[in-house]
A and B are shown apart, each in its own frame.
Chain A
Amino acid sequence: MDWHLLISQLLNGLQLGLLLFLLAAGLSLIFGIMDFINLSHGSFYMVGALVGASVAALTGSLLIAALAAVVAVFVVGAAVEWLVVCRLYNKDHLDHVLVTYGLILVFDSVARMIWGPAGAAIALPEALNGRIEIGDFVIPAYRLLIIACGLLAAAGLYFLVTRSRLGMLIRAGASNRVMVTALGVNIDRLYRIVFAIGAALAGFAGILIAPLTEAHIGMGNEIIIIAFVVVIVGGIGSVKGAFYAALLIGFIDTLGRSYLDDVLKLFLSNQSAETAAPALSAMLVYILMAGVLVCKPQGLFSAAGFNRR
């Protein structure tokens, strides 16, 4: 067994899992608290990456770019909530689907107008472009930075949700919306803040991944589906559930793609294993989702006990 490959695949899985967590945490909070389905959440991921790429090109600093991206997406998120989304909470889910699908079209075409069809690339600074050697393992430095930033963001969100007053209101809103309103909390403002925080987290994920994949139009629409799966597996409204489910799915997806053909070769002939493995590894995550749904239809850590209509 090749230990170097295994370690690097585990790190890839961790990286994918943390990115998924940044996307899914916001989605899950928005689902759980507002009972709102946001298909256009991936657009915030794209906007974060594109704004970050532009700022990085202007200033040459990745740090400033990341800050600018997060702030910009926070503002865009709050604006979208104020203009469109807040009018939809009382409507049914079909309307949510239609309007947020419309928002995707709008975001994608506006982004194409501003940044052009090719999108934008970010060059990594010298310091981050290198590799770090630990013993005889060699790890790209930027991957470690993504993992560190993801863990930091997860810890920050954990602190915000469990230790701050805002977090208390968010948790209260997720478990009983009516009671929170009755206690005199300005629920409209709470919704707007939660929506904007969720957007900012997605934007942060976008700028983190942009130096590796380039920022391009429609990048959010690909990853957002897996983020939905994370939310379903983790349980709607639960940040903790989103964290564990994101890591689980990140590892399963990455390891499935690199090791499934070896596993299948134990049962099948070499040739059929090599044909079946790519298709099966593309399905693994969804099979996991179906399995969780059969055993626990509310997800592993459901928090939205009272708000389900």
Chain B
Amino acid sequence: MTPVSRSAGVYALIVVLLLAAPPVISFTGQAFYLDLLTRALILAIAVASLNLIVGCGGMISLGHAAYIGIGAYSVGIPAYYEVYNGFIHLGLALACSAAFALLTGAVCLRTRGLYFILITLAFSQMLYFTLVSIDEYGADDGLLIHRRSEFGGALDLEHPAALYYAVLAALLLFLFAMHRLIHARFGRVIFGSKHNDSRMQALGFDTYKYRLACYVISGAMCGVAGFFLGNFTHFISPEMMDWTRSAELIFMLVIGGAGALFAPVTGTAAFLLLEEFLSGWTLHWHLMFGLLLIALVMFAGRGGLHGALMRLDHRPGGPGKR
């Protein structure tokens, strides 16, 4: 039997706790915490999709919140025309975010480094300003969604626990798919192209196509997070895709530890808890947040929470790295 590392044990425990959360929370009567958890898991889907391109592919996108917006508007705009069919919403979210990723990715991926960061940022702002200027869909004020997506009798998202489990199932499905993807040939090519693109090309891989495919998968996945967020908040507005939202997603990923499969879950949870704690403690919590972020990057080194857990494995008594 192979020894199970402590970090894997911690992650398994987190999954068990997440599965058990709704009954426990409804028993204690603190519905607020179920909302917080649902929100955390929705954002974790978005951060996981970001992890695929940032952590694995080295493509630092500063415009990922755009896909959350696309997903959310895929719920809000049909709902505005009184179309509440969830399959249509979800299909639109996937199709539109994949299409936007394909169009912008085709341009962005011609460049690297600084240019890539700035161009993803610029495209997401383009979408932001476009939606701000469309009065029909509420412009700055956004739209209210009166009813959540309907999936016939199969799934009732109006029920908080049902929404929670749907989000959790989607998250675990995505994490599993990503695990398979990055250990398949596709993932190896993406990794290889992050570290040495010319060498991968010399080996005969058309890395541009692989990276574009990776970018589109990531965008579509993030669109699903937007679909859930629109349903969860009953409200959409261009503010959801403001570039500071994209920066927050990167922040969450780095707290969790970019590149690690489970980092999105721990990073998002840590970010939201920190936000709750600091905003309850002081009015000027953004200052604390900013200073903490600067200190984290300058002094803590890369690795985030995942890195800290890995060090746990290497302590005496631990099974060590495989």
Interface residues, chain A, with chain B CB atoms under 8 Å away: 31, 35, 37, 39, 84, 87-88, 91, 93-95, 97-99, 101-106, 108-110, 112-113, 221, 225, 228-229, 231-232, 236, 275, 278-279, 281-283, 285-286, 289-290, 293-294, 297, 308-309
Q: Contacting chain A: which of B89-97, B109-117, B197-205?
A: B109-117
- A94-B54, A99-B297 in contact; A236/B114 too (CB < 8 A)? yes
Q: Contacting chain A: which of B35-43, B141-149, B286-294?
A: B286-294
List the B side residues contacting A285 at CB < 8 Å.
126
A sample of 18 cross-chain residue pairs with beta-carbon separation below 8 angstroms, ordered by A number, consists of A39-B247, A93-B60, A94-B54, A95-B297, A97-B117, A98-B251, A98-B296, A99-B297, A101-B247, A102-B289, A106-B291, A110-B287, A113-B284, A232-B115, A275-B134, A279-B130, A282-B132, A289-B122
- B101: Cβ under 8 A from any A Cβ: no
Are A106 and B254 in contact, CB atoms less than 8 angstroms apart? no
- A229-B122, A282-B129, A293-B119 in contact; A108/B297 too (CB < 8 A)? no
Q: What is the distance, in angstroms, from B274's C-beta to the closest C-beta of chain A?
A: 13
Within 8 A of A (CB), among B244-298: 244, 247, 250-251, 254, 258, 284, 286-287, 289-294, 296-298
- A97-B60, A97-B62 in contact; A297/B111 too (CB < 8 A)? yes
From A84, A94, A231, name the one whose CB has the most chain B CB atoms within 10 angstroms.
Answer: A94
Within 8 A of A (CB), among B207-246: 243-244
List the B side residues contacting A275 at CB < 8 Å.
134, 136
Q: What is the distance, in angstroms, from B68's C-beta to the closest C-beta of chain A?
A: 17
Are A109 and B290 in contact, CB atoms less than 8 angstroms apart? yes
Are A309 and B293 in contact, CB atoms less than 8 angstroms apart? no
List the B side residues contacting A104 at CB < 8 Å.
244, 290
A289-B136 Cα distance, complex, nearest whole Å: 27
Are A278 and B247 in contact, CB atoms less than 8 angstroms apart? no
Number of contact residues on B: which range applies? 35 or more
Q: A98 is contacted by which of B104, B113, B130, B250 (Cβ under 8 Å)?
A: B250
Q: What is the distance, in angstroms, from A243's C-beta to the closest C-beta of chain B?
A: 19
List the B side residues contacting A35 at CB < 8 Å.
114
Q: Which 6 A-B pairs have the closest CB atoms?
A: A105-B290, A102-B293, A286-B126, A109-B287, A106-B290, A278-B133
